[in-house]
């Protein structure tokens, strides 16, 4: 199959029958639900752009497995240029979608699994890498969407997986036979699980010998028996249920909890099972890749935030005010610094034995730390520039009311030449950018907690060599 069309993607979802719960109710047809349809539209847009002459330059490349054109979302990173192309693709998509498009986690998991299954096979003479290549070729040939199942619920975080009073706090193997394994547990923050066809399940942390049953990497269809998707609520979801005051009128994002209730995985879809020493490296690669991805997608949204702030200043008649232009310059500085670190992490990438390139971990994690702290400043300055009206505008339904609508259009107008309706559309969009909890928390905790980012930077930084440089220049002889 060539790159899927958006309609083909939407049709393929409707062939699936996942178990889905939204706001306490089992939903038989989730793909048209008002809380999901705008999120699915974002993924559909990636397929649409993959067939667009301009978008194809960013989204499509030859597969190193088949030689055929495939989506970059299901391709190995086999060069520094591949990693640069990834960051540019994500920035381009954010410019066109304005929020999460829920395919990056699967892309980054594909590459981290590829690296460590290869390493495991070299040591133990297993066949995980070959199995994984067969799975990936199937995904590429059918142009499927993959989400990554990484973050376990973790229970008592002071205890290791095998020490938990309830053993299901981390996904683990509960039984196995000649045909495959059965797994039980739950994964949280599952971005796009209901926009995907398959989940690629990865251990969430390093494991020890006692944790070998928790060392499981596998692929599972989103509608496999025993897989349960539970919708995760967001701050502005009432707007979508009412289908008004949407902000970003076309697209949105979400993350689910995915429960695995004794799910069967055939051996051909198992890519790690008990080889505990590869769990930590697998998830660390994923974290580094995904923090690198944020430098593309979040900076693309950052450009949109800057544009929204500048447009708000225009609509309010304040475009020539010096402190607003100072804020815009500061916002640009922050976004470019985050993006620059991800670009540098691509340039400094190095090959692994598998042939997949690993990003520079210090630079990718520096990019993510800047995002977690400084992107909040960008949001703060956006709100300062736009003004307080973004927080408590009347509803679209009030604007349509014949009794008060004309009064609202009169009193909510800004500068001449800009309609009240356009001004309110922009303010709604800014409200979505600034107050959507899923995005704000993702800026801080996406791809792991900030402390994990700092630990990775320290692990890969040679502090001793830096001390020697300082002592040498200070004239200290040891």
Q: pTM, whole model, 2 decimals?
A: 0.92
472 domain-assigned: no
Q: Which phi and psi angles does 150 have, rounded to 5°?
A: -110, -55
CATH number for the domain including 82? 2.40.110.10
Please indicate, yes or no, whether residues 384 and 319 belong to a single structural domain of this protein: yes
Which burial class, exposed, middle or buried, applies to 31 when counting CB atoms under 10 A from its CB (0-12, 13-18, 19+)? middle
Please indicate, yes or no, whether residues 12 and 117 belong to a single structural domain of this protein: yes
Please indicate, yes or no, whether residues 241 and 314 belong to a single structural domain of this protein: no
Please say which residue of 276, 308, 338 terminates a domain: 276
Please indicate, yes or no, whether residues 260 and 349 belong to a single structural domain of this protein: no
Which burial class, exposed, middle or buried, applies to 413 when counting CB atoms under 10 A from its CB (0-12, 13-18, 19+)? middle
pLDDT at residue 448, rounded to an integer: 67
191 domain-assigned: yes
Q: Residue 267: CA atoms inside 13 Å, Cβ hemisphere, count?
A: 7
Banded model confidence at residue 1, pLDDT cuts 50, 70, 90 = low
475 domain-assigned: no
> Angle of helix 279-315 relative to helix 420-435, nearest 10 degrees?
150
CATH number for the domain including 391? 1.20.140.10
Q: Do residues 108 and 290 make contact, with C-beta atoms less than 8 angstroms apart?
A: yes
HEC-encoded secondary structure of the chain: CCCCCHHHHHHHHCCCCCEEEECCEECCCHHHCCCCHHHHHHHHHHHHHHCCHHHHHHHEEECCCCCCEEEHHHCCCCCHHHHHHHHHHHHHHHHHHCCCCCCHHHHHHHHHHHHHHHHHHHHHCCCHHHHHHHHHHHHHHHCCCEEEECCECCCCCCCCHHHCCCHHHCCEEEEECCCEEEEEEEEEEEECCCCCCEEEECCCCCCCHHHHHHCEEEEEECCCCCEEEEECCCCCHHHHHHCCCCCCCCCCCCEEEEEEEEEEEEHHHEEEECCHHHHHHHHHHHHHHHHHHHHHHHHHHHHHHHHHHHHHHHHCCCCCCHHHHHHHHHHHHHHHHHHHHHHHHHHCCEECCCCCEECCHHHHHHHHHHHHHHHHHHHHHHHHHHCHHHHCCCCHHHHHCCCCHHHHHHHCCCCCCCCHHHHHHHHHHHHHHHHCHHHHHHHHHCCCCHHHHHHHHHHCCCHHHHHHHHHHHHCCCC
Which residues in 427-456 are b (16+ Cβ under 10 Å) and which e? bbbbbbbbbbebbbebbeebbbeeebbeeb
In this predicted model, what pLDDT tens digit does every residue of 412-430 receive, in sequence order? 999 999 999 999 999 999 9
Please indicate, yes or no, whether residues 108 and 130 belong to a single structural domain of this protein: yes
pLDDT at residue 442, rounded to an integer: 66
Reference 114, options 239, 282, 241; nearest CA is 282
Please indicate, yes or no, whether residues 224 and 369 belong to a single structural domain of this protein: no
Question: And the tokens for 146?
Answer: 């993959």
* Arithmetic mean of pLDDT over the chain: 93
In this predicted model, what pLDDT tens digit does every residue of 306-357 receive, in sequence order? 999 999 999 999 988 999 999 999 999 999 999 999 999 999 999 999 999 9
Please indicate, yes or no, whether residues 248 and 306 belong to a single structural domain of this protein: no
159 domain-assigned: yes
Please indicate, yes or no, whether residues 311 and 221 belong to a single structural domain of this protein: no
Banded model confidence at residue 451, pLDDT cuts 50, 70, 90 = low
For β-strands 216-221 and 198-201, DSSP reports them as antiparallel
Please say which residue of 250, 276, 302 terminates a domain: 276
Please say which residue of 276, 291, 319 terminates a domain: 276
Please indicate, yes or no, whether residues 142 and 242 belong to a single structural domain of this protein: yes
Residue 444 has pLDDT above 80, yes or no: no
342 domain-assigned: yes
256 domain-assigned: yes
Please indicate, yes or no, whether residues 268 and 387 belong to a single structural domain of this protein: no
Reference 287, options 218, 205, 356, 208; nearest CA is 205
Please indicate, yes or no, whether residues 303 and 421 belong to a single structural domain of this protein: yes
Average pLDDT over residues 198-205: 97
How far apart, in whole angstroms, are the C-alpha atoms of residue 427 and residue 418? 13
Residues 6+ apart with CB under 8 A from 9: 43, 44, 47, 143, 145
39 domain-assigned: yes
Please indicate, yes or no, whether residues 247 and 358 belong to a single structural domain of this protein: no
Q: Do residues 76 and 30 make contact, with C-beta atoms less than 8 angstroms apart?
A: no
Reference 205, options 256, 281, 270; nearest CA is 281
How far apart, in whole angstroms, are the C-alpha atoms of residue 356 and residue 372? 27
- Domain span holding position 193: 6-276
In this predicted model, what pLDDT tens digit does every residue of 68-117 receive, in sequence order? 999 999 999 999 999 999 999 999 999 999 999 999 999 999 999 999 99
In this predicted model, what pLDDT tens digit does every residue of 453-467 receive, in sequence order? 677 777 778 888 888
Out of 56-65, 273-282, 343-352, 371-380, which region has the weakest mean confidence (pLDDT)?
371-380
- Total structural domains within the chain: 2
pLDDT at residue 23, rounded to an integer: 94
471 domain-assigned: no
């Amino acid at each position: 199959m060539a790159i899927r069309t958006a309609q083909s993607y939407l049709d393929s979802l409707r062939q699936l029958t996942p178990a889905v719960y939204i706001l306490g109710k089992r939903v038989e047809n989730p793909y048209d639900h008002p809380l999901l349809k705008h999120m699915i539209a974002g993924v559909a847009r990636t397929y649409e752009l993959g067939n667009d002459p301009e978008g194809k330059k960013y989204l499509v490349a030859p597969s190193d497995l088949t030689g055929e054109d495939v989506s970059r979302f299901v391709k190995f990173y086999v060069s520094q240029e591949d990693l640069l192309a990834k960051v540019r693709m994500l920035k381009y998509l954010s410019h066109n979608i304005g929020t999460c498009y829920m395919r990056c986690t699967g892309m980054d998991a594909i590459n981290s699994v590829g690296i460590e299954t290869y390493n495991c096979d070299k040591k133990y003479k297993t066949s995980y890498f070959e199995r994984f290549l067969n799975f990936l070729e199937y995904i590429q040939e059918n142009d499927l969407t993959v989400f990554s199942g990484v973050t376990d619920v973790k229970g008592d975080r002071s205890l290791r997986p095998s020490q938990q009073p309830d053993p299901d706090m981390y996904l683990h193997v509960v039984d196995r036979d000649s045909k495959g394994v059965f797994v039980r547990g739950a994964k949280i923050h599952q971005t796009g699980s209901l926009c995907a066809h398959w989940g690629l399940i990865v251990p969430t942390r390093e494991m020890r010998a006692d944790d070998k049953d928790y060392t499981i990497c596998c692929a599972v269809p989103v509608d496999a028996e025993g897989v349960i998707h539970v919708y995760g609520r967001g701050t502005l979801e009432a707007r979508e249920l009412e289908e008004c005051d949407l902000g970003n009128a076309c697209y949105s994002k979400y993350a689910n909890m995915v429960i695995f209730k004794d799910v069967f995985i055939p051996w051909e879809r198992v890519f790690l099972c008990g080889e505990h020493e590869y769990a930590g490296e697998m998830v660390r690669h994923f974290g580094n890749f995904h923090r690198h991805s944020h430098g593309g997608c979040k900076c693309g949204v950052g450009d949109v935030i800057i544009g929204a702030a500048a447009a708000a200043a225009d609509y309010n008649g304040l475009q020539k005010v010096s402190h607003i232009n100072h804020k815009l310059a500061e916002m640009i500085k922050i976004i470019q610094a985050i993006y620059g670190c991800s670009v540098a992490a691509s340039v400094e990438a190095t090959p692994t034995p598998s042939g997949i390139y690993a990003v520079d971990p210090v630079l990718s994690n520096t990019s993510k730390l800047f995002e977690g702290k400084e992107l909040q400043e960008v949001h703060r300055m956006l709100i300062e520039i736009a003004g307080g009206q973004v927080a408590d505008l009347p509803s679209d339904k009030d604007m349509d009311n014949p009794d008060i609508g004309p009064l609202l259009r009169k009193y909510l107008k800004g500068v001449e030449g800009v309609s009240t309706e356009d001004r309110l559309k922009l303010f709604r969009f800014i409200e979505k950018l600034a107050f959507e909890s899923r995005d704000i928390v993702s800026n801080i905790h996406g791809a792991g907690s900030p402390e994990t980012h700092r630990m990775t930077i320290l692990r890969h930084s040679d502090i001793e060599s830096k001390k020697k440089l300082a002592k040498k220049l200070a004239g200290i002889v040891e």
